[in-house]
Chains A and B, each alone.
Chain A
Amino acid sequence: MREARSAREGPAVTAWERFADSFFNARVAAEYLPKIVDGFWLTVTLALGIVATGLAAGLALALVRSLGLRPLNWLIVFVVDLFRALPPLVVIALLFFGLPAAGMQLSGFASTWLALSLVLMAFAEEIFWAGITSVPKGQWEAARSTGLTFLQTLRFVVLPQAVRLTIPPLTNRTIAITKGTALASVVAVQEILGAAHAGVSFSFNPTPLTLGALAYLVLFLPVVVFGRWVETRFAWRR
């Protein structure tokens, strides 16, 4: 009886209370916080793995491309173009739902890691390559004529200049692709979004999603601000 009356008085207050009870429910939050925290570390692990393999593979491809072997370069350009054109979620779906047909079962985590690494590899190769080609040919020739080997020229003359030029676009691209870790929730990985979504279904309350969104902000807001700083720090004034 009393509840019925209190629901009738002050609709503004009750609407807010209902909203708070839905999206900021302390009991639900306490119950699902550990799961979100687990998801947070899974997201961090996944993201770091993608950054490490994606950037390394991209740099390796760009270096191989600088050797100038025609058929090999066509292959590299083809692979790079392919993974720039394909939506990451399509690549994940191909690996996760497609590979079992070939008798190979990748976990959701492994599928996402591999897919996003390939995507980052493609973008990174493109950026590194642009950086390498932006160093004038004369510098190559001058370095080689002083007696440096091909690798020494690359290491001491070309890469230091190329890397500086490539840092801002590379940072932004890396951030954008690591945010794609949320796609892992589609293939049942309990990273932040996966854990949050599962929490909503179990508790029938959206508070876990609020927590999840906050977890993403905690993780990526500093990264985005860092990207902004990098952009101004390395800006080339015309």
Chain B
Amino acid sequence: MGWEDFAAAFLNLAIMREASPILVQGLVQTILLSLLVVPLGLIGGTALALLSTVRHPLVRWPLMAWVDVFRALPPLVLLVFLYAGLPFAGLELPAWGAVAIGFFLNTGAYYGEILRAGIESVPREQMEAARSTGLTGGQAMAYVVLPQAVRNVLPDLISNTLEVVKLTSIASVVALPELLYQARQAQSVTYNASPIVAAAAVYSVLLWPVVRLLSRLENRQLAARR
């Protein structure tokens, strides 16, 4: 196979141009999807992390089980269960609904673990000092502990957010027309792999700066631990 054949099959500009309108539509959906599931995961994760500060065993153990179960189930399994399983229970979810719930459960558990580690990294005296100045428990958590917790685990939070954005590609499995889905459609219509190559290029160009940033933060974090 010569270079020209290769280029025609994978880097076919004519086909990429033809597919670009639906790829752009797909990208818009991917962005909207990310804007939906990242905040959902953060809300779920914050709730889990706050609950984890309760030391009572009746809270602690169910919480740990919840987090571990949703970290053990592959997100795609959760999504397929919600989308293809629940209709049998008379609950017909639209693709967006299934994706939202699946991501809430899965990424919420991950964000929850990260934020819990963050809260635990803030010395206990901070809470005591804040309370002794007259702040309520909630105020002390919101204005004193959480900001420091978030700063301490910022690289992990960014890393998880990157993974969540990449993970939105599994929504293609339940026919939600995001970037990968549209690229697959274009590929099957044109019998040419160029649309998928174009989608891959879009993902890597958009996410590359985040990867660079993370790589730096992680190196610094590891170096600081010594």
Could you tell me which A residues sit within 8 Å of B by CB distance?
Answer: 19, 22-23, 81-82, 84-91, 93-94, 97-99, 101-103, 126-127, 130-131, 133-134, 136, 165, 169, 176, 179-183, 185-186, 192-193, 196-197, 200, 205-206, 209-210, 212-213, 216-217, 220-221, 223-225, 228, 236, 238
With a cutoff of 8 Å between Cβ atoms, the chain A residues found around residue B84 in the complex are 197, 200, 206, 209
Cβ–Cβ contact A23 & B10, under 8 A = no
With a cutoff of 8 Å between Cβ atoms, the chain A residues found around residue B210 in the complex are 85
Taking A81-B208, A176-B163 as given, write out 5 further A-B residue pairs in contact, using a Cβ cutoff of 8 Å, ordered by the A residue number: A23-B85, A86-B200, A99-B193, A165-B226, A212-B77
Given contacts A98-B196, A101-B192, A217-B69, whether A87 and B222 have CB atoms under 8 Å apart is no
Main secondary structure on chain B at its contact with chain A?
A: helix
Could you tell me which B residues sit within 8 Å of A by CB distance?
Answer: 1, 5-6, 9-10, 68-69, 71-77, 80-81, 84-85, 88-89, 162-163, 166-170, 172-173, 180, 183-184, 187-188, 191-193, 196-197, 199-200, 203-204, 207-208, 210-212, 214-215, 218-219, 222-223, 225-226
With a cutoff of 8 Å between Cβ atoms, the chain A residues found around residue B80 in the complex are 185, 193, 196-197, 209
How many whole Å from B19's CB to the nearest CB in chain A? 14
Cβ–Cβ contact B69 & A221, under 8 A = yes
Cβ–Cβ contact A130 & B208, under 8 A = no
Q: Find the B residue at minimum CB distance from A162.
A: B222
14 pairs, A vs B, C-beta closer than 8 Å: A19-B89, A86-B166, A86-B203, A90-B196, A101-B191, A102-B9, A133-B223, A134-B223, A136-B226, A206-B88, A209-B81, A220-B74, A223-B72, A224-B71
Complex-state Cα separation, A196 to B84, whole angstroms: 11
Cβ–Cβ contact A22 & B88, under 8 A = yes
Cβ–Cβ contact A90 & B200, under 8 A = yes
With a cutoff of 8 Å between Cβ atoms, the chain A residues found around residue B173 in the complex are 186
The residue in B68, B69, B72, B80 that gathers the most chain A C-beta atoms within 10 A of its C-beta is B72
Given contacts A93-B196, A102-B10, whether A85 and B74 have CB atoms under 8 Å apart is no
Which of B9, B68, B200, B208 sits near A228, CB closer than 8 Å?
A: B68
Given contacts A101-B10, A101-B193, A103-B1, whether A89 and B218 have CB atoms under 8 Å apart is no
Cβ–Cβ contact A182 & B74, under 8 A = yes
Cβ–Cβ contact B73 & A85, under 8 A = no
Complex-state Cα separation, A169 to B168, whole angstroms: 23
With a cutoff of 8 Å between Cβ atoms, the chain A residues found around residue B88 in the complex are 22-23, 205-206
Given contacts A130-B222, A182-B76, A216-B72, whether A87 and B169 have CB atoms under 8 Å apart is yes
Cβ–Cβ contact B211 & A90, under 8 A = no
